[in-house]
Structure 1
Amino acid sequence: MIKIYQRLTVLIMLVLAISGAVIYFTVDINTLSHLNAFKPWSILAALFLLAIGLALDGTRLMHLVRISDERISFYEAIQVVFGNYFLALLTPGAAGGAVAQLMFLRRAGVPTGKATVLVIVRTLLSIVFLLLCMPIIFLFDQDLLPWISKKTMVLSSLIVAVVIIFAIWLSRTNLLSYLLVKLTRRFKYQRRRNIFSAYRDFQDAAFLLLKAPLCIFRVFIESALSLLALYSVVPILFIGMGIDINWHYVLGRMMLLNILLYFAPTPGGSGIAEGGFIMLFNDFLPSGTVGIAAVAWRIIVEYIPFIIGLYYTVKVFGRDFISKQL
């Protein structure tokens, strides 16, 4: 019990410190003038988009579970979604998010093996969508990475997306297993065992992806719409601050930022998310407003779902259970 309160206290202090530093180092004399122009409707619109994004996240999980010949209700799927936000924000590298999803899926009656595969597929679909969007983003947003040529960025992102899709297809054959055996034959037993265990999970995920293509395509579309709704919170906030923005440029940069956050080592990407936001949008916004926008985005899209996830986790598993997980 004490451990979870300590972890929550550290997290709250970290969030407050990061938010305070972001605002402190980006605020200037122009900040108040733009805050006065802030439109309250934009907050309501941002919350509405958040609700749509989370609801679609829940429905895609329901349909994904159905493909695996299991069933969960929309309410149970929403608990998985919010539980993911809660433990992801408490653990380095957001590793706890996957644990939370497994916990709630098992609670809903999904066997552990299938739950593991579903968590992998859910993540893969999101990453594949973002990677498929990258060539288009790099093609039209030439100022995103000005030190790298547009041709190189488009080609690199296309290669990464194709490699992932090809690896999913290739996992249905024995070729990858053969290559893994050759590549890991000099590894220690435990390390080799862990690699093959992860590969078997990936292979099961690939089989699920290719089991019902039309159903998976539906889940993929739901994944895309869910992410687009969540990312659209940012341009809505910009408009609410009286700023004229290019909507698809903002969405493109949010996609790039969120790909990077999948690999962030800090709990829930704290610090890296705000810093990346400032780097990507500092030139879009008037002086003194980017820090306020970064903090508002994190509060709406991350911290509100985190609080709801805390409620559901305590309600379903109890405080003692969470303490053991942390």
Structure 2
Amino acid sequence: MAKKDKKLYFNLKNLLLYLALFVSISIFSMYYINRIYSQGSNLDVFFSFPAAVIASLIGLLFFYYIFDASRLYFVLKTLNAEISFWNVYKLVFINFFISNITPLATGGGFAQVYFLQKKGIPLGKSSAAALIRTLLSATMLFLSVPFIIFRNKSMLNLLPSNYVFIYLVIFLALYVFVFYLLIFKVRLIMKIIYKFLYFLKSKHLLNKKRFRRIVRYIFKHLELFSEDLAFFIQGKKIFVFLSLLFTVIFLLTEFSFSFLILQGLGYNDTSFFQILIFQILVVFIMYFAPTPGAAGIAEGGYSLLFSRFVNQSDLFPLLFYWRFFSKYVGILIGVFVFFYLIIRGGIEVEE
């Protein structure tokens, strides 16, 4: 269990500020796209969707959260972390809330580690699980983008730079390199950290006691973290396979919302593969968005891609219901779960 002397808590004021910023940017983006680009479309169009499409969207939403929980659950099983599926399922909504209101989803990792520690998972193991969960989906997306762009050269006209391949290669190289260091060269990382902290101590920016405590804490958990990353790769094949499988299923489920909404809007000849390509590109762009929950960037990127595919009058309903089912519902549930746990004392917040 996470000990109180480690002072793990959420800064409630910052979270509320981020939430307000997310809501403000989202409303402004939706308003702008509705008024400028989509000819004032009406959201009531949803109620004219065929009953089968509405039922499919609701059913897909249910399984969306199940698959999200499953991918983390089997990562934890691979690491021999004992935790119930129900606890992981509750964490899905907390993660939805925190990750989608913090810049670059930085709060999501902390939220996962925090709650896993509350359930008795050690810091190194919980950190490894949270990172592996993210790495699996991010790697699948990042490796898909070069192939998509290579096979669809016209996509380059939608991207901000002619040097996108160079940026992508550099990013992927750094991504793989950091992952390699964490597994095989953790001692080198420790050495660099030690020298940096020693430099701070020599400049009297850290006292001797604090220097020793920080070094001991970081080294202990970094080593455990590295061991757990390596353990995942060498873990039980069935759990590794299920982690990968549910990551793929989760992503396909997320990308299916747009396909079903388009079916409801009457685009019955829509190619799921084409929608899949567009969605991968949108989510890829969202990974680099500095705004909370990629607000503004997500709406802009999605509209830019799908405006070439649907009528202008259908763009706003498509955009709104995509964000509603893929993000807004999960965030709203996460808000209720988060404050319920605060009331129950399951979450510590800064006074």
Q: TM-score, normalised by structure 1?
A: 0.81
Bigger-Rg structure (1/2): 2
1:163-210 deviation per Cα after TM superposition (whole angstroms, max 9, x unaligned): 645654564433x7548857996895489x89x879768734531332
C-alpha separation between the residues in 2 aligned to 1:280 and 1:85?
Answer: 25
User: Aligned letter for 1:220?
Assistant: L
Q: CA deviation at 1:246?
A: 2.1
The answer for unaligned runs of 5 or more in structure 2 is 1-10, 207-213
Aligned to 2:327: 302
Match of 2:256 among 232, 238, 258: 232
In the TM superposition, 1:260-271 aligns within 5 A as 260-271=285-296
Secondary structure (helix, strand or coil) at the match of 1:324 reads: coil
CA 58–32 in structure 1, closer or farther in 2 if over 3 Å, else same: closer
Aligned to 2:230: 207
1:257-282 deviation per Cα after TM superposition (whole angstroms, max 9, x unaligned): 21222221111111111011011111
Aligned to 1:272: 297
Q: CA deviation at 1:66?
A: 1.6
C-alpha separation between the residues in 1 aligned to 2:22 and 2:157?
Answer: 35
Secondary structure (helix, strand or coil) at the match of 2:58 reads: helix
Report how many residues are paired. 321
Aligned to 1:126: 137
CA 6–68 in structure 1, closer or farther in 2 if over 3 Å, else same: closer
Q: CA deviation at 1:49?
A: 2.0
Secondary structure (helix, strand or coil) at the match of 1:242 reads: coil
Aligned to 1:223: 247
C-alpha separation between the residues in 2 aligned to 1:54 and 1:99?
Answer: 19
C-alpha separation between the residues in 2 aligned to 1:249 and 1:202?
Answer: 39
Aligned to 1:49: 60
RMSD, aligned α-carbons? 3.8
User: Aligned letter for 2:141?
Assistant: L
State, as a whole percentage, how many aligned pairs show the same letter. Answer: 24
Aligned to 1:317: 342
Q: TM-score, normalised by structure 2?
A: 0.76
Worse-matched range after superposition: 119-128 or 153-162: 153-162
User: Aligned letter for 1:275?
Assistant: G
CA 27–319 in structure 1, closer or farther in 2 if over 3 Å, else same: farther
C-alpha separation between the residues in 2 aligned to 1:124 and 1:57?
Answer: 14
Match of 2:124 among 110, 113, 116: 113
Q: Is the 8 A contact 1:121 1:205 kept in 2?
A: no
C-alpha separation between the residues in 1 aligned to 2:36 and 2:183?
Answer: 51
1:228-280 deviation per Cα after TM superposition (whole angstroms, max 9, x unaligned): 11111111111211123221121122112212222211111111110110111
User: Aligned letter for 1:270?
Assistant: A
User: Aligned letter for 2:276?
Assistant: L
Q: Is the 8 A contact 1:141 1:249 kept in 2?
A: no
